[in-house]
Amino acid sequence: MANIIDFEPIGLRIPCMKGDTIFDAARKAGIPIISYCGGKTICGRCKIRIMNGNVSAISNNEKNLLSEEEITNNYRLACTMRVLSDLKIEIPPESLATIQRLQLLGKEPQLSLDPVITKYEVKLQESSLENPLADWENLHKFLEDKYGFKNLRPDISLLQNLSSKIRNENWEFSTIVRNDEVIGITKSDEDLYGIAIDIGTTKLAVYLIDLHSGKTLAIQGAMNPQIAYGEDVMSRISYAMENGVDHLRNCLLNTLNRLIQQLTGNPEKVVDVTIVGNTAMHHLFIGLPVKQLGRAPYLPAIVHSLDVKARELGLNVAKGAFIHLLPNVAGFVGADHVAMLLATEIYKASKCTIGIDIGTNTEVALSVNGDIASLSCASGPAFEGARIKHGMRAGNGAIEKVNIKNNKIDFEVIGDVAPIGICGSGILDTISQLLQNRIIDQRGRLQDHDLVSQRKANREFILVPKKNTGIEKDIVVTQNDISEIQLAKAAIRVGINILLEKCGINEEEIENMVIAGAFGTYINVESAIKIGMFPSIPLYRFTQVGNAAGIGAKLALISNEHRSIAGNIANRVRYIELTTHPKFTREFSHALQFP
Ligand code: FES
């Protein structure tokens, strides 16, 4: 018999089988309990409090990951504790994933339309005993005579409906042609729409585009639902290795179909789709194996661009529509990187230009005089708030900016709420301010200071005292948090340094540094320079461009030329494997220090 779990403060009651974990029950009900380890009892972030009811005995892992105080107050980890009776549980705010602030907009270059999909007016001669042409041949002859098409072929779904449609439209309508294929017919006055999709590890961005004008009509964003199965690419890959790709693929597909439905009201109007994402997201969307991405030499199943019928992949748009998946470069440099280079036009740079998109994997490109070199750094999820004691994504309640002067701490919080944690830009600012105020030294060690407290063997900096927070405890930055940021910033800086060295360029020669992506949009570049994550070049050389990968997907949607440029970029990029570079270890340990 099912037990009932009452989730507070959401007020949701759901049935759950005895022996299930709360984490699985919440996931099935769509309750977004935070998990940075995909439910493997490693991260300790899925804390919940038992208000009443019986559960399994506390495990050793829980004892290691929870404080004594938390255990005394009935806190447990949702991913390991099992349900033994009806339960009432509380999900504390820091364990509930808020919707992340999604950076969907980005700078767009000027371009003239070069549509992949074109509409042609048709007025057929009605078939008769005197004109006994079959319907497809009748249409084909018209398109050949009037527009000069040769060897067009019909999409099978078009053919299945052609006879009834041309008669319903009284032999006068428009055909939708993509390259050498007629993919649909429509009323002459109907507009054509396309969808550009950026599948990020953390978030999804879907753009509705008018294919006639090239204008963006609407944008929808959402968290990538695969987050419930692991925060970063490697944990998704390991989930897929254990459980197959179907579940990850299906939850992603369902969310994309929902977003397209919300954007269009009628997905049948969408006649073309482009998709970008890192190589793992690309593979998971198509249903390709990802096991080989998780092991050296980290090879993709395919890097070339793909054109696949949307219906074959289960994406609900017009029946004849294709999805164009932009090319990947390598196992950890994917189509989103190619799209970023396309949108920012870094591939054209004559002066030394660095493009960087910071995420759990950070891709960095250096372009100069037509030569492009790229690599991927395992910067980890610290800037997404993971592995940081009070870290969280950039949603409501996240401290996003910090300034410390004369022991007075000023901070800004996203949304009109009390702070409940710190997001990536906030932690970056905090570390920079701690350094400037000599509260940490160059090795990142917290010093004796009024704002530093000692909790057991660990020191921590009290950023916001309990009375001013929304979580009834201090929001702190621990010594361990500082180490996590040192690891993340060192990974990024080593990537930049090794690219510079490979291209024989000094950091002063960097003329442009283009920061793409959601995190990059909100960071204080000065803070990033102060902690040594970015080279110390003048601030005016930095540009924050927003979601360039999404814009690249849009460019490829409305321009044939940009599809081929994307292919050309992917071929030109010289991929550099960072971890096997002979100087990696030395550079990395040097970059761990603060300047
Ligand atoms: S410890 Fe439970 S999700 Fe990570």
Q: Do the Cβ atoms of 349 and 109 come closer than 8 Å?
A: no
| Same domain membership, residue 576 and residue 429 | yes
Q: What is the pLDDT of residues 277-295, one digit of tens each?
A: 999 999 999 999 999 998 9
Look at residue 89 in the predicted model and tell me its pLDDT: 87
Query: Where does the pLDDT of residue 1 fall: very low under 50, low under 70, confident under 90, or very high at 90 and above?
Result: low
Q: Which of 197-206, 334-343, 417-426 has the highest mean pLDDT?
A: 334-343
Ligand 1 atom nearest to 79, measured from its CA = 2
Residue 8: band (very low, low, confident or very high) from pLDDT cuts 50, 70, 90:
confident
Residue 336 in any domain: the answer is: no
The residue ranking higher by pLDDT, 94 or 580, is 580
Which of 14-23, 481-490, 577-586 reaches the highest mean pLDDT?
A: 481-490
- DSSP E strand stretches across 278-332: 306-309, 322-325
Do 161 and 222 belong to one domain?
Answer: no
**Does 197 lie in the same domain as 181?**
no
Q: What is the pLDDT of residues 527-547, one digit of tens each?
A: 999 999 999 999 999 999 888
Residues 19 and 76 placed together within one structural domain of the fold:
yes
Q: Residues 246-267: what's their mean pLDDT? A: 93
Q: Is residue 438 part of a domain?
A: yes
- Which atom belonging to ligand 1 lies closest to the Cα atom of 77? 2
Domain interval for residue 131:
117-186
Are 35 and 150 contained in the same domain?
no
Considering the domain architecture, whether residues 450 and 589 belong to the same structural domain is answered as yes
Percentage, residues of the chain above pLDDT 90:
66
Q: What is the DSSP letter of 575?
A: E
Residue of 27, 31, 45 to test ligand 1 pocket, by largest number of atoms within 8 Å of CB: 45
Higher pLDDT: 381 or 218? It is: 218
* pLDDT tier at 231, thresholds 50, 70, 90: confident
Closest ligand 1 atom to Cα of 38:
3
Q: How far is the CA of 48 from the centre of ligand 1 (A)?
A: 11
Domain assignment present for residue 330? The answer is no
What pLDDT is attached to residue 517?
Answer: 84
Q: What is the ipTM of this complex?
A: 0.99
Q: Both 353 and 315 in a single domain?
A: no
Distance from residue 257's CA to the centre of ligand 1 (Å): 29
Q: Give the pLDDT confidence score for residue 439 in this predicted structure.
A: 96
- CA nearest neighbour of 404 among 449, 458, 443, 445: 449
- Sheet order of strands, 193-199 included: 216-223, 203-210, 193-199, 270-277, 322-325, 306-309
Alpha-carbon span 526 to 518, nearest angstrom: 17
Residue 433 lies in a domain: yes
Query: What is the structure's pLDDT at 11?
Result: 59
Q: Ligand 1 pocket test: which of 33, 42, 239 has the largest number of ligand atoms within 8 Å of its C-beta?
A: 42
Helices and strands (H and E) in the chain: how many: 17, 27
- Domain-located, residue 100: no
DSSP per residue, 450-491:
TTEEEETTEEEEEEE-GGGSSSSS-EEEEHHHHHHHHHHHHH
Q: Is the pLDDT of residue 556 over 60?
A: yes
pLDDT digits (tens, 9 = 90+) for 32-73: 788 777 788 888 888 998 988 999 999 999 999 998 888 998
- pLDDT score at 431: 97
pLDDT of residue 383: 86
Nearest to 8 by CA among 53, 65, 43: 53
Ligand 1: residues within 6 Å at CB? 35-37, 39, 41-46, 77, 79
The whole-chain average pLDDT of the chain stands at 90
Q: What percent of the chain has pLDDT over 70?
A: 96
In angstroms, what is the span from residue 390 Cα to ligand 1's centroid? 15
Domain identity same for 91 and 33: yes
Contact 565, 572 (CB under 8 A): no
23-32, 40-49, 491-500 — most confident range: 491-500
Same domain, 535 and 465: yes
Query: Is the pLDDT higher at 522 or at 107?
Result: 522
List CB contacts of 196: < 8 A, sequence separation 6 or more: 206, 207, 209, 273, 274, 275, 550, 553, 554, 556, 557
Last residue of a domain, one of 269, 291, 325: 325
The answer, yes or no, to whether residue 348 has pLDDT greater than 80, is yes
C-alpha–C-alpha distance, residues 292 and 269, integer Å: 37
Compute φ and ψ for 16, nearest 5 degrees: -155, 140
User: For residue 109, is it within any domain?
Assistant: no
pLDDT digits (tens, 9 = 90+) for 189-215: 889 999 999 999 888 999 999 998 888
491 lies in the same domain as 368: yes
What's the confidence (pLDDT) of residue 105?
57
Is the model's pLDDT at 429 over the cut of 70?
Answer: yes
Together in a domain, 124 and 248: no
Rank 91-105, 226-240, 365-379 by mean pLDDT and report only the highest: 365-379
Q: pLDDT tier at 514 (50, 70, 90 boundaries)? A: very high
Q: Is the pLDDT of residue 9 over 70?
A: no
Domain-located, residue 498: yes
pLDDT tens readout for residues 64-119: 999 888 899 899 999 999 999 999 888 877 787 655 555 555 566 666 778 899 99
Ligand 1 centroid to 88 CA: how many Å? 20
- Give the residue from 186, 208, 229 where a domain finishes: 186
Q: Which atom of ligand 1 is nearest to the CA of 61?
A: 1
Using DSSP's 3-state secondary structure scheme, residue 543 falls into strand
Counting the structural domains of the chain, the total is 4
> Ligand 1: which atom is nearest the Cα of residue 42?
1
More confident residue, 109 or 242: 242
Average pLDDT for 383-403: 86
What is the pLDDT averaged over residues 404-425?
90
**What's the gap in Å between 580 CA and the centre of ligand 1?**
31
Q: What is the pLDDT of residue 4?
A: 84
Minimum mean pLDDT among 107-111, 126-130, 275-279, 502-506: which range?
Answer: 107-111
Same domain, 163 and 200: no
CATH number at residue 147: 3.10.20.880
Choose from 127-131, 260-264, 417-421 the range with maximum mean pLDDT. 260-264
Mean pLDDT within 135-149: 96
Lowest mean pLDDT among 163-167, 366-370, 379-383, 586-590: 379-383
Q: Relative to the CA of 65, which ligand 1 atom is closest?
A: 1
Residue 341 pLDDT exceeds 80 = yes
Is residue 8 assigned to a domain?
yes
User: Per-residue confidence at 386, pLDDT binned at 50, 70, 90?
Assistant: confident
CATH label of the domain that carries residue 80:
3.10.20.30
Q: Which single residue is written with the structure tokens 């761990």?
A: 592
